[in-house]
């Protein structure tokens, strides 16, 4: 890209079974200026798997290790984030699993994800966290415990952990408690919006803001602390549900042309901070 504006999408998905797939997504994103994709596994049932014990997540993780490789072969840097989403716990409970049983499956699935990081097959954990819809307090407690475990595993491995939270200060306070206990420093608050962005930044977390003009303008005070994400689902049945990764560059160019954002701000959000977060060097300007 001649103006040097390369794009990191810190949190997005791909559906290798029912979607566009890794190759098509990667080449389209790369052609739009994309250099780095934080690839997070989808839910087990999104790729037609059924899990009943921690070991069953092996199949899900293997699919994503393969997807990350395919995306890299298109010339993209990929940081692979593995772990069960809190909705997996809710689904297990709905299927009749007890609280303890569900906790075992979720904790074991994070241990397994950590073993992928140790073997160099993945680069982060998540998305862990709390349902953003109303659930029984016992379920919330379970989700907190799983999140705390994911945070401490990520701290030990010194890799980022992506957290999916309900949009309240209380959720961030819970995260801060776990983060302090584990001495965790790479906490990504996924889908951070509005007031949560500043609160998270002040606590030393990395707010990942949806890459939309309105969302970005509403948090301009925090442009020196944020990264952005598409949270692309790669679900052909819900094309408009999220931001497309290949639209991010256009969004930033628009903000820069309108004089709303400086190129320096954009480079911080799209290149420097993601590079530091994932420990991946950006391609040199003018290079491939």
CB-closest chain residue to Zn ion = 231
Contact string (CB under 5 A) for Zn ion, positions 80-119, x = contact: ----------------------------------------
DSSP H helical ranges for 95-157: 99-118, 137-157
Binding segment (CB under 5 A) for Zn ion, from list 14-22, 98-106, 226-234, 268-276? 226-234
Among 9, 70, 215, 231, binds Zn ion (CB under 5 A): 231
Spatial separation of the C-alpha atoms in residues 256 and 20, rounded to whole Å: 30
Is 9 or 231 the residue whose CB approaches Zn ion more closely? Answer: 231
Q: Which is nearer to Zn ion, 10 or 270 (CB)?
A: 10
Half-sphere exposure in the Cβ direction for 50 (13 Å, CA): 1
Q: How far apart are CB 229 and Zn ion at their closest, in Å?
A: 8
- 107-142 in b/e burial notation, b at 16+ Cβ within 10 A? bbbbebbbebbeeebbbbbbbbbbbeeebeeebbeb
User: Based on C-alpha coordinates, what's the Rg of the chain?
Assistant: 18
Stretch of 60-68, 102-110, 215-223, 230-238 contacting Zn ion, by CB under 5 A: 230-238
Please tell me whether residue 229 binds Zn ion under the rule CB under 5 A: no
Residue 70 vs 229, nearer CB to Zn ion: 229
Residues 104, 107, 111, 112: is their CA dihedral positive or negative?
Answer: positive
CB of 188 to Zn ion, least distance (A): 11
CB of 60 to Zn ion, least distance (A): 14
Query: Are 47 and 16 spatial neighbours (Cβ–Cβ below 8 Å)?
Result: yes
Taking a C-beta distance cutoff of 8 angstroms, is the pair 25, 74 a contact? no
Which chain residues interact with Zn ion by CB under 5 A? 231
């Amino acid at each position: 890209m001649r103006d040097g504006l390369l794009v990191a999408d810190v949190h997005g998905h791909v559906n290798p079974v029912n979607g566009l797939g890794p190759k098509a997504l990667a080449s389209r994103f790369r052609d739009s200026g994309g250099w780095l994709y934080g690839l997070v596994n989808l839910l087990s049932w999104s790729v037609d798997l059924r899990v009943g014990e921690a070991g069953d997540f092996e199949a899900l993780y293997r699919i994503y290790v393969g997807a990350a490789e395919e995306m890299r072969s298109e010339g993209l840097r990929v940081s692979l984030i593995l772990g069960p989403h809190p909705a997996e716990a809710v689904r297990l409970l709905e299927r009749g699993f007890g609280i303890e049983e569900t906790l075992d499956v979720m904790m074991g699935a994070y241990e397994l994800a950590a073993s992928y990081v140790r073997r160099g097959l993945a680069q982060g954990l998540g998305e862990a966290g709390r349902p953003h819809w109303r659930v029984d307090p016992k379920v919330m407690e379970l989700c907190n415990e799983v999140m705390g475990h994911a945070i401490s595993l990520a701290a030990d491995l010194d890799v980022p952990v992506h957290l999916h939270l309900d949009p309240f200060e209380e959720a961030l306070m819970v995260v801060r408690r776990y983060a302090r206990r584990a001495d965790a420093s790479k906490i990504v608050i996924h889908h951070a919006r509005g007031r949560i962005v500043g609160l998270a930044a002040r606590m030393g977390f990395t707010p990942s803001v949806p890459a939309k003009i309105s969302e970005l303008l509403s948090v301009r005070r925090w442009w020196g602390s944020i990264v952005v994400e598409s949270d692309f689902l790669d679900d052909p049945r819900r094309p408009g549900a999220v931001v497309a990764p290949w639209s991010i560059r256009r969004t930033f160019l628009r903000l820069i042309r309108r004089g709303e954002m400086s190129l320096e701000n954009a480079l911080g959000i799209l290149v420097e901070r993601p590079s530091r977060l994932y420990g991946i060097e950006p391609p040199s300007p003018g290079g491939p």
